[in-house]
Amino acid sequence: MKKLVLFYNPVSGHAAFKNKIDSMVEAFQRRNILLLMYRTKKEGNEEFVDFVRETQPEGVLAAGGDGTVHECVNLMVKNGIDLPLGIIGSGTSNDFATYLKINEDMEKYFDIIAAGKSCRMDLGKVGEDYFINVASAGMMTGIAHEVDARLKNAMGKMAYYIKGLGEIPKFHAVPLKIEADGVLHELEAFLFVVINSAVVGSMKNVAKDVSVTDGKLDLLAIRKCGIPSLMAVTADLIAGKPVSEKDKVLHIQAENFRIESTEPLQSDLDGEIGPMLPLTIETVPQAIAVYCDVQG
């Protein structure tokens, strides 16, 4: 019987996933797979590494939101655990899983996992930390960290939008110096995102020609503009229309970025608090295998 370790967050997504564990165990047992549970704690999940090494599974499943996947990826890659990763989206935001369309039919996805189908995908790296989907800074970046956990669990994505509406009067552009593969760009921008996939903040198709297997990352920066133009870009994002070709948006594909500002800016990595700017961001090609049946 195959073994998989389930790295799960008991409080993500309305704290509902823990009520689905038995059905998951049954689904995998039907496929001759034994699930070994690792319940995450708020802090200090380094013992997960020892758990994986001791149990010697064929793969790892991360169940939770983007933050849970981020933590699992970092624990695996930093400690040389090169096993396929399955993503069971059960949090408020599950952008990477949405991009890969791996959670639209869970029974089909369980079949893919049971068959051992996986694709190697790129990661981004900032300092010693990895991100699987996005690194960002600027307006809206701090909202994910300021939303009360109880409100987020009760209201889901709506909690972010409520908080965001209250922040609109505070929005202002900041000066940025962006060096992309040696080419310097200077601008004032409301925000920037460096993305691996084309789904960010639950908004789909934010840019064209994005791939998680091309050895590059995509940077999008919303340039300083009037409120009507800013609202137009935002409306397209919410509607799932790509904004990478709009004149108010800077779009760059590159392997490496250096981003700095004269203003103090806190970054965000996959929805988790990242370092202050300046940032040095690099692509790590084919850094991790992810259970899926499509190339991103």
pTM to 2 decimal places: 0.89
Round to whole Å and give the CA distance between 87 and 96. Answer: 9
pLDDT reading at 8 higher than 80: yes
Tokens of residue 16, six digits: 């509902």
Q: So what's the pLDDT on residue 238?
A: 84
Share of the chain above pLDDT 70, in %: 88
Q: So what's the pLDDT on residue 227?
A: 85
Round to whole Å and give the CA distance between 191 and 224. Answer: 9
Preceding peptide of 278 cis, ω within 30°: yes
Answer CATH for 2-116 from 3.40.50.10330, 3.40.50.11540, 3.40.50.1820, 3.30.2290.10: 3.40.50.10330
Considering only CA atoms, which of 164, 264, 175, 181 is closest in space to residue 221?
175
47-53 — which CB contacts under 8 Å span 24+ positions? Answer: 48/5, 48/7, 48/72, 48/75, 49/75, 49/79, 49/81, 51/5, 52/5, 52/76, 52/81, 52/83, 53/81
> How, if at all, do strands 33-39 and 183-195 pair?
unpaired
| Mean pLDDT, rounded, for 109-131 | 98
pLDDT digits (tens, 9 = 90+) for 219-254: 999 999 998 888 888 888 888 889 988 899 999 999
Highest mean predicted confidence (pLDDT) among 13-27, 56-70, 88-102, 148-162 = 56-70
Round to whole Å and give the CA distance between 91 and 80. Answer: 26
pLDDT reading at 190 higher than 60: yes
| Mean pLDDT, rounded, for 130-134 | 98
> For residue 82, what are the CA distances in angstroms to 49, 73, 122?
12, 10, 13
Round to whole Å and give the CA distance between 64 and 256. Answer: 29
| Mean pLDDT, rounded, for 210-219 | 97
Q: Tell me the domain boundaries of the chain.
A: 2-116, 131-285
The domain defined by 131-285 folds into: Tumour Suppressor Smad4 (2.60.200)
> How, if at all, do strands 183-195 and 272-276 pair?
unpaired
pLDDT digits (tens, 9 = 90+) for 46-58: 999 999 999 999 9
> How, if at all, do strands 85-89 and 129-131 pair?
unpaired
